[in-house]
Amino acid sequence: MSDVPSLLYTDVEDDLRAAVRSMLESHSPWARVLERTDGDVAGDRKLWTLLTDDLGLAGLALGEDVGGAGASWREVAVVLEELGRAVCDVPYLTSVVTATALAEAVGARELLAELATGAVAAVAVPFTQPLDHPVSDPPRFAAGRIRGRVPAVAGAAEADVLLVPVAGAVVRVAAADARIEPVPSLDMTRRVADIDFGAEGGAAATVLAERDAVPAALARAAAVSAALLASEQLGLAQRCLEMTVEYVGQRRQFGRLIGSYQALKHRLADLWTAIAQARAVARYAAACAAVDDKDLPVAASLAQAVCSVVAQQAAEECVQLHGGIGFTWEHPAHLYLKRARADALAHGTAGWHRRRVGALVDLPPVAD
């Protein structure tokens, strides 16, 4: 643990970032993101096609044997920084990270090959739930059929395939066989949907993993998801800081640029300091995920404990320091605020991850 892997960005990662950013600036400017929120369709299908077909980002972390690019979670993390920065509405985190990590962990090679070509999958667990934390009322699976409901699943409305953890197994269900009901969502750029597999006959399901293989696979997918979500939060926070710095450097009140007031400067300096720490922990988590380091569970929960707080702080400061304009629909700040707040709930809150860290590093809670 005193041997810290490189937390810097490689030249390849810098090039990848530039390519993704240029694509997003042309095809997903915030005005388009905002405009799409008025529509009924979750997920920007056109942008998804550009990212997966033109840039080949769907199978980035997958091996070439299943049609992937043979890179690692480190590169995926850089893509997520850019997607967070542009607050894009694509199911990258849910499909390319969470579903792919689970498919990889259960050895579903056929599914991985589909994912590498840009097929969209979602893990049917509430987005707030850490995957390795048992849900109270999971869907029931028997004799090749699945029954029950799962609320608030991110990336489900966009999905072709659903991966469903049930008691003692992970099963695969075609999205077309389930009723997927999008609901108005706190995060307008990553909408959640309720999934209903039906109560009577249920939906057809095939087993991907059973019994003993399940907990480890879910733990791996949970850790990778938490680790990589941190990079999306980092990109979002960095963009909120930049927008705010630009604004306070232009806005005049009392005959001065408001950015010359220490009351504002100090808040932004604190935010910058926090983001520098968020970058270090996010890079560490991505590096641990990339090589499946034994410190990954700590790194992932550490990253969530830090980045959830920092991204939310950045988005809240962005609204506050923009003043009235920051509270309007026509300004992009609210897109970031909603994403940041939802991200802070995703895969467990910061508080949940702090307690997880405590359990992992032998700092037990108070005995009752």
Partner 1 sequence: MSVSPTSGSPTSVVTKVDELLAAHPPAGTDRLAFLRARFDAGLAWVHFPETLGGLGLDASLQPVVDAAFAAAGAPDNRPQGNVIGLGMAAPTLLRYATPEQQRRWMRPLWTGEEIWCQLFSEPGAGSDLAAVAATARRDGDDWVVNGQKVWTSLAHDSAWALLLVRTDRDLPKHRGLTYFVLDMSTPGVDVRPLRQLTGEAEFNEVYLDDVRVPDANRLGAVGEGWRVTQTTLMNERVAIGGAVAPREEGAIGPVAREWREHPRRRDASAYDELLRLWVDAEALRLTSARLGQQLEVGAPGPEGSGLKLAFARLAQAASSLHLDLAGADALRYDDWSMRRPDFTTPLDRVPGFWYLRTRANSIEGGTSEVMRNIIAERVLGLPAESRPDRDIPWKDLPR
Residue with Cβ nearer partner 1 (143 or 367): 367
Calpha distance 99→116 (Å, rounded): 12
Residue with Cβ nearer partner 1 (114 or 232): 232
Binding stretches for partner 1 (CB under 8 A): 1-2, 4, 6-8, 245, 248-249, 256-257, 259-260, 262, 264-266, 268-270, 272-273, 276-281, 283-284, 302, 305-306, 351, 354-355, 357-358, 361-363, 365-367
Tokens of 334: 């609210």
Residue with Cβ nearer partner 1 (114 or 316): 316
Between helix 350-360 and helix 296-322 the angle, nearest 10°, is 150
Convert 208-224 to b/e letters by CB count within 10 Å (16 or more is b).
bbeeebbeebbbbbbbb
Residue with Cβ nearer partner 1 (145 or 265): 265
CB of 226 to partner 1, least distance (A): 14
Residue with Cβ nearer partner 1 (191 or 279): 279
Residue with Cβ nearer partner 1 (113 or 245): 245
Residue with Cβ nearer partner 1 (11 or 38): 11
Q: Assign residue 72 a region (left: φ > 0; alpha: ψ between -120 and 50; beta: otherwise).
A: beta
CB of 129 to partner 1, least distance (A): 21
CB of 286 to partner 1, least distance (A): 12
CB of 302 to partner 1, least distance (A): 6
CB of 70 to partner 1, least distance (A): 25
